Structure 1
Amino acid sequence: MSETALSPTTEPAVPSAREERVQWLLETIERNRFLPHPDPNSVFVGDGDFRAVGTEFLGHFIRMGGLQPQSRVLDIGCGIGRMAVPLTQYLDLEKGRYSGIDPVEGGIGWCRRFITPAYPNFTFQRIDIEHDLYNPKGKVSGKALRLPYADRHFDFAIMTSVVTHLPADEVLVYLSEVGRLLKAGGRLFMTAFVVDQVAAANEGGRRDPRLAFERHGDGPCWFVPDLPPLAAVGFDDGFLDRALERAGLATVLISLGHWRGQAADHYQDVFVAECRGGGG
């Protein structure tokens, strides 16, 4: 991908018969009043309806990421289970596995109480990662992160709204860990804000007005004035591509989000990358 201009990549069409099954599943999840749902006041990350957003992303994981029911899934920054709840209806109870990690104790505690007892193949772990907004007193530096899993353990990794809250040097560490943990051919699904020339210039004034990014210093990061630096982080076009490559991950899909003022069925920009590493 060019370092100066993003080009949206169109994912292969999902076969119609499978698409019908996927759509049926998503509609069923939306209507399922028995699935766990946290108190709205306890949802500490993410805008929009908890169930609807999670269900939307399940569709993206399947359609864009190629997620399979038997996959071993790692959800980095799992929060209070927004992605985990709909995944309980898709991952195979016997073969599929889900591991969620997050620094916020309240979110992990809720997931352990309301998800794991009914779905024992879903586990959640708090990792005391220091973060200025979400865990300022954390004992583990994001620059020295080492996740507690064996090499090549996962088929699919999720990083939704994670790099949008990280400085550049920590993004490199997180992606390096993903490159270590994914099996050969395993995939990462990641969302981001990529500040290309169009987004930087905000041509036509169409960009989400909440994201009036300005460059921070001489590095690749863009912050929003009047917000804490890590409240929303954008990156130079090309930075994430190079970071993925450095981690041994080959980008297979880029789909630009509607935050930048163009038509899309998702808000943030989406990267899907595949692990080239060996092992199994």
Structure 2
Amino acid sequence: MEAVLRNRFLPCPDPDSIFVGDGNFQAVGAEFLGHFVRKGGLLPASRVLDIGCGIGRMAVPLTQYLDTATGSYRGIDPVAGGINWCQQNITAVYPNFEFRHLDIAHSLYNPKGEINGLELVLPFENQQFDFIIMTSVVTHLPDEEVSAYLREVKRVLAPGGRLFMTAFVADKVAQENPFNKRDARLGFQRYDEGPCWFVPELPPLAAVAFDDGFLDTALMRAGLSIVTKSFGHWRGVAADHYQDLYVAECRGDG
């Protein structure tokens, strides 16, 4: 992580072109590299899929960790500009890193997309990956699309492979904010009778939280076993990560 932070030669996009995520591009990437290894069990030889790779915030530090001969990385995103930058600035130097534009419709990031999220089919063969990243993805999805994504995650994960996913979970502490320390930007309110919580002053998919237990059930139904569930400090409690995170393992039962 320290080497990534000190490396002045790693590619970094112009700040005006970073369309998702807060914080320093390089520092956040280095932080997540640590989480992937320590919490997720990522190995240098892992075959990685990054769903919602954006403009390479997770990919850049992974170039310093994945083995060039045995490890590999595939990134997909609905925003063509981010994919283009990654192809020009990452793949050109690290050929085991590939990026693909997937034209998934999203009201904020790709409103004219041709692929309905409910009908998502990832362009990869079955059981192709050892480690799948979904950072800040379900935080921008409606509940009905979450199951479609997780179904495809299960399909392309090898038995024993792992999903690393971040989320906002509306547990009792987050809902009631008893310490008055919750991130003031995330004043979630429940939407109708479903499991979703939205921030009233923001577009619905700008930030989505889910009832505690919804994602757990969705993972289980997809055939993924939860290894780690850890609440983040956005809700005002001590934690070494901001969003909530799940690590789930692919069961080898078909």
Q: TM-score, normalised by structure 1?
A: 0.90
Name the counterpart of 1:251: 226
Question: Which of residues 182, 204, 207 is equivalent to 1:229?
Answer: 204
SS of alignment partner, residue 51 of structure 1: helix
Deviation at 1:49, TM superposition (A): 0.2
Name the counterpart of 1:150: 125
Deviation at 1:277, TM superposition (A): 2.8
Equivalent-residue separation in structure 2 for 1:277 and 1:148 (angstroms): 21
Equivalent-residue separation in structure 2 for 1:175 and 1:260 (angstroms): 25
Name the counterpart of 1:272: 247
Deviation at 1:80, TM superposition (A): 0.2
Question: Which of residues 74, 85, 89 is equivalent to 1:110?
Answer: 85
Q: How do 1:109-258 residues align onto structure 2 when only pairs under 5 Å count? A: 109-258=84-233
Amino acid at match of 1:271: Y
Equivalent-residue separation in structure 1 for 2:173 and 2:15 (angstroms): 35
Equivalent-residue separation in structure 1 for 2:109 and 2:92 (angstroms): 26
Runs of at least 5 residues in structure 1 that lack an aligned partner in the other structure: 1-25
Q: Residue by residue, what CA displacement relative to the aligned partner does 1:153-205 show, whole Å, maximum 9, x if unpaired?
A: 00000000000000000011001110111011000000000001111111121
Percent of residue pairs bearing the same amino acid type: 69
Amino acid at match of 2:202: L
Q: Contact 1:223/1:233 (CA < 8 Å) preserved in 2?
A: yes
Equivalent-residue separation in structure 1 for 2:246 and 2:240 (angstroms): 14
Equivalent-residue separation in structure 2 for 1:35 and 1:234 (angstroms): 33
Q: Does 1:100 align with 2:75?
A: yes
Amino acid at match of 1:49: N
SS of alignment partner, residue 81 of structure 2: helix
Equivalent-residue separation in structure 1 for 2:253 and 2:216 (angstroms): 21
Q: Does 1:49 align with 2:52?
A: no
Name the counterpart of 1:22: none
Amino acid at match of 1:275: C
Equivalent-residue separation in structure 1 for 2:253 and 2:156 (angstroms): 11
Q: Which runs of 4+ in 1 moved over 3 A?
A: none
Q: Contact 1:183/1:278 (CA < 8 Å) preserved in 2?
A: no
Equivalent-residue separation in structure 2 for 1:103 and 1:230 (angstroms): 15
Name the counterpart of 1:59: 34
Runs of at least 5 residues in structure 2 that lack an aligned partner in the other structure: none
Amino acid at match of 1:72: R
SS of alignment partner, residue 204 of structure 2: coil
Amino acid at match of 2:182: R
**Higher-RCO chain (CA-CA 8 Å, sequence separation at least 6):** 1
SS of alignment partner, residue 203 of structure 1: coil
Q: TM-score, normalised by structure 2?
A: 0.99
